[in-house]
Structure 1
Amino acid sequence: MMTIKLSRTASGLIRRFTVSGHAGFGPYGSDILCAGVSAIAQTIIGSLQDLAGLDPDYVLADGDIRCELPDPASMQPQQLEAARILMDSMAVGCRQIEASYGTSYIQVKEVRYHQKGGARA
């Protein structure tokens, strides 16, 4: 199963997302759910860089995608708004896939963001 964890700050900003595992919907290398979520995540990371002018901390690996925004206090107002829209788009896209294909393949979870010690439920 693929798990998407969205870590929100107290102000509602998704500051970090992680994608782990494989959906198991199709054969390895041909799984449309894995490909779909991966495409969404990589597009968000690229858009944070190219459109918002941010330098997120990220990892792109097989079965492991992670992205964390820089400190919002270091962002210009327009960067923060772009980051909010893009990270919310990640949530919308993944929830749509979850709703279409079911939680036995993909689960989206929201947790509270904690900078030190990770995110807790």
Structure 2
Amino acid sequence: MIRAAFQRDDCGRIVSFAMTGHSGYATSGQDIVCAGVSAIAQTAIGSLQELAAMNPDYRLDDGHIACHVTYPEDAEHALIGSSLMESVRIGCIQIQDSYGKTYLTVIDE
């Protein structure tokens, strides 16, 4: 099972996410749950860099993706960054709703 955990700051913005584990939905290379979660997370990391002009601290390993952000003072880029981080959570919840908590569990701390 994949565990997707999200942490928030005092303003309620997501400041980090970590996805750990393998879903077990299908064999490696055929697992749509793992592929979906990985694609969402990696797209968000690239989008934080390109669209929000942020430099996220991230790690991509087999069975583990983590990302931590520090929001910029610039309100526009901070809003873009916050929206991108929320989109990761929303995408994971949609996958969880479609495939079940047996394969993906989302934790919003």
Q: Deviations over 1:42-94 (max 9, x none)?
A: 00000000111100000011100000002x3x431111100111001001100
Q: Does 1:78 align with 2:76?
A: yes
Q: How many residues align?
A: 109
CA RMSD of aligned residues (A): 0.8
What CA distance in whole angstroms lies between the structure 1 residues aligned with 2:34 and 2:50? Answer: 24
Secondary structure of 2:34's aligned partner: helix
Which residue in the other structure is 2:7 paired with?
A: 7
Secondary structure of 1:23's aligned partner: coil
TM-score by length of 1: 0.87
Letter in 2 for 1:86: L
TM-score by length of 2: 0.96
Q: Does 1:98 align with 2:96?
A: yes
Which residue in the other structure is 1:117 paired with?
A: none
Q: Does 1:108 align with 2:106?
A: yes
Unpaired stretches in structure 2, ≥5 consecutive residues: none
**Superposed displacement of residue 29, structure 1:** 2.2
Which residue in the other structure is 1:87 paired with?
A: 85
Letter in 2 for 1:49: Q
